[in-house]
Amino acid sequence: MKHLFAGVLAIGLLAGCSANNNAANNGNVNNSAAANSAAATEQPASSTAIDVLKVSFVPSKDPDQIITATEPLKELLKKQLDTKGFTVGDVQIDVGTTYEAVGEALSAGTTDVGLIPGGTYTLYDDGAEVILTATRKALSNDSDNPKDWNDNKPTTGLDTEQASYYRSLLIAGPSAKGQELAAKVNKGEELTWEDLNSATWAVMSTSSSAGYIYPTLWLQEKYGKSLTDLAKVTQSDSYGSSFARLAAGQADIVVAFADARRDNEEKWTTEYGGTGPIWDQTNVIGVTQPIYNDTVSVSKNSPIMNDELKKALQESFMEIAETPEGKEVIAIYSHEGYKVAQSSDYDGERQAQELIRSMK
């Protein structure tokens, strides 16, 4: 198993979208179960019994919220797998304490399926195998210029378009320092390293693509620095925690996936203490390169995993994503659907991982 790099810059890489590897993926994709698999419509003559299928999620949101939202997935998976020759007694769903914990569980074979970022997958791909890539609703903003995001608020989803990538944003909050940085960006001025280093940051786990890795790459590209070089950095246990810190003025900058403000729009004022709409009180001050979407990965060391089950899981997840009930479940991660993936899709992320290593 690969291990995290020593020190705080122990980074596995998500969602790569580097230009050379993902040029073909940086547009919209057409996602449908029919286009990706031939769904079985009849119960097979014989069936393989599976006592327990274990599915793990990363803690990108409040774990209780994830558990509640994904509860229907248990019966949906059992039903779909049954049509493909697998009778599952119980589907167990859990949320890892960290992104790394889910990667470790996949590598150890103590969980069978993990819905994990590409960065976590590439860090643990000696024990995990990607089978699907998520597709998401494309957003109304996709510029690499932060001012464009601020001039065109709020960011909305496009109902007719699916995207195979997303971006990470550096988001400044309502604190005096956050407003100072946002004002500079909105005047078309470049931020200096001193500007950024004087702010308090809230980041995610070191294997989180949007919450750590790609913001580090952004800093490296622009300033020759990384998140570990900043004077004031706090690691949050979820994006919700980061936004709560931002609303309270405990953080001046958070790093998050591009539609995170949409996800936290209501809680900004009802739970986090925001004194106005999130779109009024926050501004984008940095935009990373595109990040390839999350994965559905399976354990190479799970005692129940084989090629037949992998194919059945691929088809089942794609078919579930086409149903109203399934769409509601996968919406917890802003997923809209899934398409068949292969390891080489994430070569760009591996290259980014090598860059992170070289920065050590």
Q: What is the pLDDT of residues 216-245, one digit of tens each?
A: 889 988 999 989 999 999 999 999 999 999
β strands within the chain, DSSP E: 48-57, 86-95, 113-116, 128-139, 157-163, 165-166, 168-172, 201-203, 233-235, 253-257, 283-287, 291-292, 295-299, 335-340
Q: Percent of the chain, pLDDT > 70?
A: 86
Report cis status (omega within 30 of 0) of the bond before 154: yes
What's the chain's average pLDDT? Answer: 87
Over range 192-206, report the average pLDDT: 96
Give the pLDDT score at 2: 43
Angle of the 307-320 helix axis to the 73-82 helix axis, nearest 10: 120
Over range 8-12, report the average pLDDT: 35
Give the pLDDT score at 360: 59
Phi then psi for residue 268, to 5 deg, are -50, -45
Over range 101-113, report the average pLDDT: 98
Give the pLDDT score at 27: 39
Over range 177-189, report the average pLDDT: 98
The residue type of 235 is Q
Phi then psi for residue 5, to 5 deg, are -65, 150
Give the pLDDT score at 162: 83
Angle of the 347-359 helix axis to the 214-223 helix axis, nearest 10: 60
